Copies of this chain bind each other. A is one copy, B any other.
Amino acid sequence: KKTFRVAVLPGDGIGPEVIGEAVRVLEVISKASTDVEIKLEEHQFGGCALDATGHPLPESTLKACQEADAILLGSIGGPQWGVNLKVRPEQGLLALRKALGLYANIRPANFASDSLLDNSPLKPTVAQGVDIIVVRELIGGAYFGTRKEQGQAPDEDAAWDTMIYSVPEVQRITRVAAQIALAANPPLHIHSIDKANVLASSRLWRKVVTETLQTEYPQLQLDHQLVDSASMFIVSSPRKLNGVILTENLFGDILSDESSVIPGSLGLLPSASLAGAPSVKDATAADFQSTSGLYEPIHGSAPDIAGQGIANPIGAILSAAMLLRYSLGLERYASAIETAVRRVLDEKEKGGLGLRTTDLGGKVGTKELGTKIVEVL
């Protein structure tokens, strides 16, 4: 039996509740499988770690994450750790991304089940068939460039941040986007997003994306959009961006959140942040298998509903599916989870169970939904 170690960071707010269900799913797979064992180990991270140890990312947690094959995270933060604190939970997340070199953030925005179309804020005719995967560079750009705070010399009246990218940084994220595009059949279209009509970092971005794809993946289709146009398309005609949206850190932060509301509830969507990617021309999707990665639902800690057992666990459970796919190389289990989720959501007429948590206008609780998914599985 092949053994994998997964570090589990439930975090704050509804994090522990939704992660509880994702963990159940992974345990069921581990037990049922004849060739794979998944060892899960919990660690403190985020606001709870800050309260307990003074650091949102304690040494022991970082070490456990570094040694694990993959990390499953709930959500962090809450009103008790406000922007005025010197040390905040999000800093732990940024530090973890940087320490593990998690440079590729992968955020699908699609309908886990067509029955969810009515939950979209967009008209059904506009939302139908939206199937976007945002590939966001996660440890470069303005997030990690040199900066100067107000009050620091020289020029105490000003503050600045540096949006900086180097050729290798853009090459490696482009390769991740290409591998994701190639994993589909037919391969997905790549939409690279920048602000090349104004920013030097965007001009480098555009040039390197173009050259990398032309040289290494000439079979893929590529277009370039300005970030302002892209933010319009996501609302007015999102299918135009179906495929892979490839973009830098700050634009990716904005555009991935914007596209994530199309399916109607943040509770539905998973994400992956990967450290490795194929670095050679003819790499295949299998290269992701040994990639360490952090997996988390995209929703926040939702302190208003924490502890009530009503949070939607689907984002967390689909994150576990991504974990199986990208870090453990267990594609068949990943698809099985995704199919089970679809079944649980689909209308009864379509052979599904039609279950809905409160975020989707229903009454099914976190545990009950998790149980159903496990049963179907």
Residues on A lying within 8 angstroms of B by beta carbon are 83, 88, 90, 94, 120-123, 126, 142-143, 145, 147-150, 155, 157-168, 195-201, 203-204, 206-207, 227-229, 231-232, 234-237, 250-251, 253-255, 257-258, 260-262, 266
- Which one, B162, B206, B260, contacts A160 given CB within 8 A? B162
Q: Which residues of B contact A195 (CB under 8 A)?
A: 250, 253
Closest residue of chain B to A197, judged by CB?
A: B90
Q: How far is the CA of A253 from the CA of B164 in the complex (A)?
A: 20
A199 and B232 contacting across the interface, CB-CB below 8 Å: no
In the bound complex, residues from chain B placing their C-beta under 8 Å from that of A168 are 157
Q: A254-B231, A257-B229, A257-B232 are in contact. Are A197 and B83 (CB under 8 A)?
A: yes
Enumerate chain B residues within 8 angstroms of A255, measured Cβ to Cβ.
231
Contact A232 B261 (CB under 8 A): yes
A126, A228, A234 interface centre (most CB from chain B within 10 Å): A228
Whole-angstrom CA separation of A257 from B232 in the bound complex: 6
Within the complex, the shortest CB–CB distance from A227 to chain B, in Å, comes to: 6
Which one of B163, B250, B260 lies within 8 Å of A232 (CB-CB)?
B260
Enumerate the 8 nearest inter-chain pairs by beta-carbon distance, A residue then B residue, closest first: A159-B204, A160-B164, A231-B258, A228-B257, A236-B261, A147-B200, A150-B204, A158-B166
Q: Which residues of B are found within 8 Å of A121, using beta-carbon distances? A: 122-123, 126, 235-237
Instruction: Give chain B residues whose Cβ lies under 8 Å from the Cβ of A159.
Output: 164-165, 200-201, 203-204
| Chain B residues positioned under 8 Å from A145 (CB to CB) | 160
- Using A158-B167, A195-B253 as known contacts, list a sample of 11 further A-B pairs with CB atoms less than 8 Å apart, ordered by residue number in A: A120-B123, A122-B123, A123-B123, A149-B200, A161-B199, A227-B253, A231-B258, A234-B258, A235-B235, A254-B254, A258-B258
Determine the distance from Cα of A148 to Cα of B145 in the docked complex, in whole angstroms: 13
* Cα of A235 to Cα of B257 in the assembled complex, Å: 10
Do residues B150 and A203 form an inter-chain contact, with CB atoms below 8 A?
yes
Contact A166 B161 (CB under 8 A): no
- Asked if B200 and A150 sit within 8 Å, CB to CB, the answer is yes
**Shortest distance from the beta carbon of A155 to any chain B beta carbon, whole Å:** 8
Let me know if B142 and A199 touch, CB within 8 A: yes
A203 touches B149 (CB 8 A): yes
CB contacts (< 8 Å) of A120 on chain B: these are 123
Instruction: State in angstroms the CA–CA spacing of A206 and B149 once bound together.
Output: 12
Closest to A196 in B: B83
- A147's nearest neighbour on chain B, judged by CB, is B200
Q: Can you list 19 A-B pairs, Cβ within 8 angstroms, ordered by A?
A: A83-B206, A88-B197, A121-B122, A123-B123, A142-B163, A150-B167, A150-B203, A155-B166, A157-B168, A158-B164, A160-B162, A160-B200, A162-B162, A162-B163, A195-B250, A231-B257, A232-B261, A235-B261, A258-B258
